[in-house]
Amino acid sequence: MKNAPFLLSSALALLAVILSFVSFSASQTNNSLQSEFLKKQTDFQELNNTVTLQNQEYQRQAEIINTGANLGQKVIGPIVGRMGYVAAKNKNQKFREMLNDQKFEKAIPSDEDLKKIDKEIEDNKAKQGAAGAPGTPAPRTPAAPAAPASGN
């Protein structure tokens, strides 16, 4: 029995060595899982940043499109209205056909409307001449109504 404490201490030492190997193995597995998790988290953050940048680009493009649409609404109506006025005033058939082909036939005033527009221009010229203000206002047609005054 003199060997009993030696055997017991040897068994316990062997058990401690085995448990340390198990613990080391478990920590290595844990470290590899943690490393994999960090890599996936980094990938996710990169994708999230990419989506954020794409959303910002989308918003920038949407602003450009909206600005263009607003500008088009403000500018195209009067321009097409003047084109229709000139086509009717000069009796330019090719110009009329072009406006009709582009579905702007409403911009071409009838003879009666043309007379009204010409009278309105003459009246405005007379008013401006009396006030000393230069310039001729744009003719108004059904396709180019006068723009309301706004604070924008």
Residue 56 has what pLDDT? Answer: 96
- C-alpha 148 chain-centroid distance: 27
Predicted pLDDT of residue 148: 41
State residue 144's pLDDT score: 47
Residues in CB range of 125: below 8 A, 6 or more apart: 136
Regions of the chain short of the pLDDT cut 70: 1, 130-152
**What pLDDT is stored for residue 132 in this prediction?**
52
- Residue type for position 116: K
> What is the per-residue pLDDT across 89-129, written as a single tens digit (0 to 9) for each?
888 888 888 888 888 888 888 888 888 888 988 888 888 87
What value does the mean pLDDT of the chain take? 83
